[in-house]
Amino acid sequence: MQFGLSAAMFQAAYEHFLAGRLREAEHACRQALQADPRHVDSLHLLGAIAGRAGHPQASLTLFDQTLALSPEFAEAHCNRGAALAVLGRMDEAEEAVRRSLALKPDYAEAWFGLGNLRAVQGAEDDAIEAFRQALKLQPDNAQAWTNMGISLQRQGKLDEAVAAYERARAILPGVALIHYNLAIALLIQGRTDEAAAGCRRAVELDPRYVLAHSNLVTCMTYQAGNSAADLLAAHRAWDWAHSEALKPPSPVYPNGRDPERRLKIGYVSGDFHAHPVGWLLTNVLPAHDKTQVEVFCYANDPLTDGVTERLKAAADHWRDVAGLTDEALAALVRQDGIDILVDLSGHTDKNRLLTFARRPAPVQASWLGYPGTTGLLAMDYLIMDAVTAPAGAEAWCAEALVRLPHGRFCYAPPADAPPVAERAQGPVTFGSFNNLAKVGPDVVRLWARVLAAVPQSRLVLKWKALSQVSVRERLTAAFAAEGIGADRLELRGQSPHADMLAQYGDIDIALDPFPYSGGMTSAEALWMGVPVVTFPQDRIASRQTVAFLTELGLTDLAAASEDDYVRIAAGLAADPERRADLRRTLRPRMAASPLTDGAQFTPDLEAAYRRMWRRWCAGEAPAAIGAA
């Protein structure tokens, strides 16, 4: 009679569990165990309930008790592995899941679990094979398709990743995460309009999906059809949806209001490594005047490399914060007594804008990592320069503009950069090594006009997604529609950084995309002796290259119209003597300019920080700093 009661109570517990009623499920399980303390199904389900409720250690204990009673219980071994993984005991977790598969080779959930474990361990080939085994057994497992897509994407197999995400979307069209993952893969492929539509759909399905919304506004920055006013409205909408409610009504700061004291500056980024942001900081952080500023770095990514070590050595304090919630990070910033908190990400990956929304520091600014407004009213300042943000650019931004006198970037030439290579005589070769998300239909059309204006010229495009057949075919077809045959295109995939720089030896003239111009890409081209033709417009993202050119005295390479762009590019192509002179002099010209001089750039940055601080000490609202 008691055994029958156990079975009945277990069935009730299982139904509660499936419906997400964890408290009721736990209660029913415990009733079943009161009737039969050796009821393994109830013990096992109780472990699953503890895991679902966020108690992995309790879950592991219950699975161990289950297996003590039933050592051949394959499902319990698999779930034990999941609990061990949450606890960070990865080797034990893999051993448990493999034990499950040894007992039950056709157990789809165990194959799926093994795939997840191997993916976390960085063994993407093993992960993909495990997901394939799971999908043979459960073809409609949308999560397995999604996770396999993530592993394929990490390997650069974007065509296969897109196909996997599309299978997942067909199975579960109402899941925001699937639309988002597909959108990111499409964006890397340069299919920006489709990526924007995917992010927009993810936000429609889950209005609280902050990262998808950030990527939506980033996609809009790439698109030519959005005006500066459209971009500001979109970024303000992000702020309204996610951050305004987080701002404390009347924040109180214990920071002493001494306008001339040493300042605590906090830099927040997920890119303190071999990344454009990391590279652009390597000349700045060591040049800080430690009598004037105390530097705190809040690293939102566990990835470390040689760049990380250089930045760590230059900081006074280093905080690894990837595992902290936004609220916990805000509390840490308050505890550190930061005076000026600086966002280095904007809406890019691994940003902590929701920490800034909580206003943990009296002065907050965005700089370096994002070419435009964050949209946050909690962000006091946006650090730019007078070329990137010319007079009137206030209308493009939610923040007060800070205009540095010599550009907003300080380029650190990489130690592995090869010497500038001489160009052999022959047909002119144009090139762009920019993200294909920037190469929209208008860019293709204009670059085709340039090629048509320079007979026998060629165009080299280089981007990681160009190793993919579908991407190559799409770009080739787009140029063919504009009258440019495949024989005039060379499409190159990803390569190590030093090799990528060396490939500028094949390029005579770099063509800048629009309305999102090159940033680090343009700086690298110039350092390798390659002039860049650019087309600045009425938005910050389009004006990064012209800011470099202005510092180098080369504003004649900045076009005022599409016709002007063709004229400049064709004129430079027809002037081999000037190209040779630029190839010989660009690097020393950059080396002698503020573009690479941290000792000159950093005091200007510190002076801007000081002016922000003085305004706060005086009780004044944020206002523009520096001449437009």
- Can you state the percent helix, strand and coil of the chain, rounding each to 5? 55, 10, 35
Q: Which residues pair with residue 511 across a beta bridge?
A: 533
Across the chain, which distance is largest between two alpha carbons, in Å? 99
What is the arithmetic mean of pLDDT over 326-330?
A: 97
The confidence score (pLDDT) of residue 516 equals 97
Please name the residue ranges forming H helices in 138-281: 142-154, 158-171, 176-188, 192-205, 210-222, 228-242, 276-281
For 105, residues 6+ apart whose C-beta sits below 8 A from its C-beta are: none
Q: Which residues pair with residue 320 across a beta bridge?
A: 299
Please give the span between the terminal C-alpha atoms of the chain, in angstroms, as a whole number: 86
Residue 447: Cβ within 10 Å count: 25
What is the arithmetic mean of pLDDT over 234-240?
A: 97
Show the tokens assigned to 26.
């736990």
Q: Residue 296 in 3-state DSSP?
A: strand
**Shared fold status for 2-156 and 157-223:** yes
- The fourth-level CATH superfamily of domain 2-156 is Tetratricopeptide repeat domain (1.25.40.10)
Fold of 429-595: Rossmann fold (3.40.50)
What is the arithmetic mean of pLDDT over 360-364?
A: 98
What is the arithmetic mean of pLDDT over 17-39?
A: 87
CA atoms within 13 A on the CB side of 26: 13
What is the per-residue burial (b if ≥16 Cβ within 10 Å, else e) of 149-162?
A: bbbbbeeebbbbbb
Q: Average pLDDT over the chain, rounded to whole?
A: 95
Percent of the chain with pLDDT over 90: 88
Domain extent listing, the chain: 2-156, 157-223, 246-410+605-617, 429-595
pLDDT digits (tens, 9 = 90+) for 186-196: 999 999 999 99
pLDDT at residue 521 tops 50: yes
Q: How far apart are CA 596 and CA 602, in angstroms?
A: 11
pLDDT digits (tens, 9 = 90+) for 402-412: 999 999 999 99
The confidence score (pLDDT) of residue 256 equals 94
Q: How far apart are CA 181 and CA 186, in angstroms?
A: 9
pLDDT at residue 537 tops 90: yes
Domain covering 246-410+605-617 in this structure, CATH number: 3.40.50.11380
Q: How far apart are CA 557 and CA 571, in angstroms?
A: 10
DSSP 411: -
Which option is the CATH number for 157-223: 3.40.50.1950, 3.40.50.10440, 1.25.40.10, 2.40.160.40? 1.25.40.10
Q: Residue 38 in 3-state DSSP?
A: coil
Count helices and strands in the chain by DSSP H and E runs: 26, 12
pLDDT at residue 1 tops 60: no
Angle subtended at Cα 219 by Cα 214 and Cα 222, rounded to the nearest 5 degrees: 135
The pLDDT confidence band at residue 573, using thresholds 50, 70 and 90, is very high
Taking Cα atoms as reference points, which of 447, 425, 424 lies closest to residue 434?
447
Taking Cα atoms as reference points, which of 164, 98, 163, 84 lies closest to residue 126?
98
Tokens 């490594």: give the residue. 273
The confidence score (pLDDT) of residue 5 equals 62
pLDDT at residue 130 tops 70: yes
The pLDDT confidence band at residue 4, using thresholds 50, 70 and 90, is low
The pLDDT confidence band at residue 22, using thresholds 50, 70 and 90, is confident
Which range, of 53-62, 102-111, 522-531, 559-568, averages the lowest pLDDT?
A: 53-62
pLDDT at residue 612 tops 60: yes
